Chains A and B, each alone.
Chain A
Amino acid sequence: MRIGVYICRVGVETGDGANLEAVGHYMANLPLVESVRSLGLLPRIDPEAMADEIAADELDRIVIAGDSPGFFKPAFTRAMSLAGREPDEVRLASFREHGVSGDGATERAKAIAACAVYGVPFTLAARPMDTKWNPATLVIGGGIAGIQAALEIADGGKRVYLVERTGTIGGHMAMFDKTFPTLDCAACILTPKMVAVGQHPMIELLSYSEVESISGVAGAYRATVLRHARRVKEDACVACGICSDVCPVKVPSEFDAGIADRKAIYIPFPQAVPNAYIVDEASCTFVQTNGQKCGACAKKCPKECIDLDARGEVLQLEVGSVIVATGYEVLDASRLERYGYGVQPNVLTALEFERLTNASGPTGGRIVTKSLRHNKRKKVDEWVLDPEGESPKSVAIIHCVGSRDANYNAYCSRVCCMYSLKFAHLVKEKLPDAACYEFYIDMRAFGKGYEAFFERIQDEGTFIVRGRSATVTDHAGQMVIKGEDILSDSVVEFPVDMVLLAVGLVPAERSDELARMLGVPRDEYGWFTEADYNGDPTGTERGGVYVAGVCQGPKDIPDTVAQASAVAARALEGAMTGRGLQSLASLSLSDIEARAKNLVPAS
């Protein structure tokens, strides 16, 4: 058999680092390789000419090597058939797709290339050896993904350490009111799981903690976890709330997305798990003044479980598997000045609206516009949410805020279309007379039951405007939203009382650090890179390190939960058998080469 190698590159999202020249030389010396040609960046291949070349070289197999070489495969396949050769004999050495990046990129590229030359799938030849496995699992992130994964593993009778950065588990889902498309209430389906985590004998819940460092190898990782000082004894606190009644400090509540205040000693939300109060050292007078001032809460606590001088502690954990479920944050809407967020009082982000419309939110679920109030203490007029305030007569929802946009996030955030439709429903349900507009580009209702949901929203009388709106401006106290209504081919301006921004998702803060600690690459947008886009969407470069949920890329709750259970499967495998696969990097080029040789199908 005579093999011809063609090295070409797609200019986009290239895995950095591989020395293609070296790879070329290496391939030239592989058995049966007749020719190695480099076609450079984004070559325009003429199949006819290529066919002549192939015929002249009498090639029986073509190997296209590079980042996403598949983009050129059809040209070569056609060339092969034009040359009267076996068109199926075009093999891909997909560098980027199999993790060619960073140091060791060239070696990895060579290995991938070798497999392609031998006609053996890389994933088959490059299957790492297995190794001893510590049955315990570390789950990083206490959102729905982390909760689900932790419960799956713990229900399997295996030890789980669940590390959560904030004072409670629950993540973003706990903030939501309803969940699309079934509109069941997030609390009803989430809180039982949270309670289960809190009471599970096999789960050690480390809330208000962060992973400081991770060392070791697949099956035997050692994690250093910093437990921040909660300053309230977790198991002793009965969440009576006397402490926060006496606390004089008010700061915006994270859980209420800033549309309501909390005290410096607070419980994120009533059903928080662990169900204990927490001192926010950043705003606590006592902490800030090194005990000079205040300390009222500690004096008032009937159970004397507040220790304002408590210090954080450092824990060492030994685990076999690490599950990353750090989720996301939402894009800072003030970056898009044209939508007036932060300037117009009644321009809200999606999360703010979730809290506003939530029965347990600051207005008890009443959708109201902010009203101007005079703050006597500060002596300033400020916009406040008054539960008795006026409800908006018209609401506009803008899709793709910062998503699908070269100037912000080029990617689609996957959930915005549906939650925007959900918002439209909530508005129509609570304010039947209010006009509601959706400004969208493509309505991405792809999931099970989503299309039907979209139709339902249309039937409810929401105006669906095809066209991403451009500006939100103030015309003499009246907000006006302007955009092109493409389907009616005209520029429209609507007076609106409230604008909801469907802000896109961005990776959680500190995920870059975490990626470095774990040695797991991230894509150009900061999402964790999976081991294999199709074949292994929840695995990573590192053996025993798995990713679940949005931290791997935007996705909705069902897909997140599925991924969470999927990573649990991997962790359980290790825990049950006491063995698991090492990192891909543990295999040397020669190992892979040798394996590939043996795997060559006899023909």
Chain B
Amino acid sequence: MTFEPKIVGFLCNWCSYSGADLAGTSRIHYAPNIRVIRVMCSARIDPTFVIKALADGADGVLVCGCHPGDCHYSEGNYKTMRRMPLLKRMLADFGIEEERVRLEWVSASEGKRFADIVDDMTERLRELGPSPVKMALAGDAGER
């Protein structure tokens, strides 16, 4: 059987979470691998959340915010835009493939886009296989 990755999604309340809801109200189907966590603004997403998610066994983390210029808090998403690349570079040093952490802009009218992103990410992670963090942890568990 194929490997089914687990994805944790951090969505901003105003654009992306509404977009995800719209996918639902429009009955646009996508992969069930994602678990969404709502935050008020993508700027709230502390890098440690991503790390924690990976540490707890997520195979990928999706971060979604309003399109640049649309932020409900005027500029929060710009902070995220600067923060994420740094985090990715750091994770890369720990051997975590950069596809595992993804930053996307999804507006409240882009239900379809959200669905496509989830499907695409799921597909890529299937190819990529389980997260090395998970493997490592599993390994540790095995030794004990």
Contact (Cβ within 8 A) B14 A188: yes
Number of A-B contacts (CB under 8 A): 56
Quick one: which of B27, B66, B108 has the most chain A CB within 10 A? B108
A43 at the interface (CB under 8 A from B): no
Contact (Cβ within 8 A) A364 B18: no
B70 at the interface (CB under 8 A from A): yes
B112 at the interface (CB under 8 A from A): yes
The distance from the CB of A114 to the nearest CB of chain B, in whole angstroms, is 53
The distance from the CB of B25 to the nearest CB of chain A, in whole angstroms, is 4
Which B-chain residue is minimally distant from A366 (CB atoms)?
B112
Measured CA separation A80–B68 after assembly (Å): 61
Contact (Cβ within 8 A) A188 B107: yes
Measured CA separation A347–B66 after assembly (Å): 33
List residues of chain A with CB within 8 A of the CB of B70: 184-185, 188-189
List residues of chain A with CB within 8 A of the CB of B2: none
Q: Which of A187, A241, A359 contacts B113 (CB 8 A)?
A: A359
B21-69 interface with A by 8 A CB criterion: 22, 25-27, 66-67, 69
Q: Which of B109, B111, B112 contacts A185 (CB 8 A)?
A: B109
A410 at the interface (CB under 8 A from B): no
List residues of chain A with CB within 8 A of the CB of B72: 188, 192
Which interface class (under 10, 10 to 19, 20 to 34, 35 or more) fits B?
Answer: 10 to 19
List residues of chain A with CB within 8 A of the CB of B121: none
Main secondary structure of the interface of B (DSSP, over half): loop
List residues of chain A with CB within 8 A of the CB of B67: 184-185
Interface mask (A148-184 → B, CB under 8 Å = 1, otherwise 0): 0000000000000000000000000000010000111
B109-128 interface with A by 8 A CB criterion: 109-113
Contact (Cβ within 8 A) B25 A192: no
Contact (Cβ within 8 A) A184 B109: no
List residues of chain B with CB within 8 A of the CB of A358: 109
Contact (Cβ within 8 A) B22 A184: no
Contact (Cβ within 8 A) A360 B69: no
List residues of chain B with CB within 8 A of the CB of A364: 112
Quick one: which of A239, A271, A358, A359 has the most chain B CB within 10 A? A359
Q: Which of A182, A188, A239 contacts B18 (CB 8 A)?
A: A188
Measured CA separation A577–B125 after assembly (Å): 64
The distance from the CB of A183 to the nearest CB of chain B, in whole angstroms, is 7
B15 at the interface (CB under 8 A from A): yes
The distance from the CB of B22 to the nearest CB of chain A, in whole angstroms, is 6
B73-132 interface with A by 8 A CB criterion: 107-113
Measured CA separation A364–B22 after assembly (Å): 12
Known A-B contacts A192-B14, A359-B113; the reply to A185 vs B108 at CB < 8 A is yes
List residues of chain A with CB within 8 A of the CB of B15: 185, 188
Which B-chain residue is minimally distant from A239 (CB atoms)?
B25
Q: Which of B14, B22, B110, B112 contacts A270 (CB 8 A)?
A: B22
Measured CA separation A360–B107 after assembly (Å): 11
Contact (Cβ within 8 A) A359 B109: yes
The distance from the CB of B107 to the nearest CB of chain A, in whole angstroms, is 4
The distance from the CB of B70 to the nearest CB of chain A, in whole angstroms, is 4
Contact (Cβ within 8 A) A360 B26: yes
Contact (Cβ within 8 A) A187 B25: no
Q: Which of A177, A184, A241, A270 contacts B69 (CB 8 A)?
A: A184
List residues of chain A with CB within 8 A of the CB of B18: 187-188, 191, 271
The distance from the CB of B100 to the nearest CB of chain A, in whole angstroms, is 27
Nearest 3 A/B pairs, CB to CB = A270-B25, A187-B109, A185-B107
| 19 further A-B pairs in the complex, CB-CB below 8 A; given A271-B25, A359-B111, A360-B22 | A177-B109, A184-B67, A184-B70, A185-B107, A187-B22, A187-B109, A188-B15, A188-B18, A188-B70, A191-B18, A192-B14, A270-B25, A270-B26, A271-B18, A358-B109, A359-B112, A360-B110, A360-B111, A365-B112
CB pairs A–B below 8 angstroms (13 shown): A182-B69, A185-B15, A187-B107, A188-B72, A188-B109, A191-B108, A192-B72, A270-B25, A271-B18, A358-B109, A359-B113, A360-B111, A364-B112
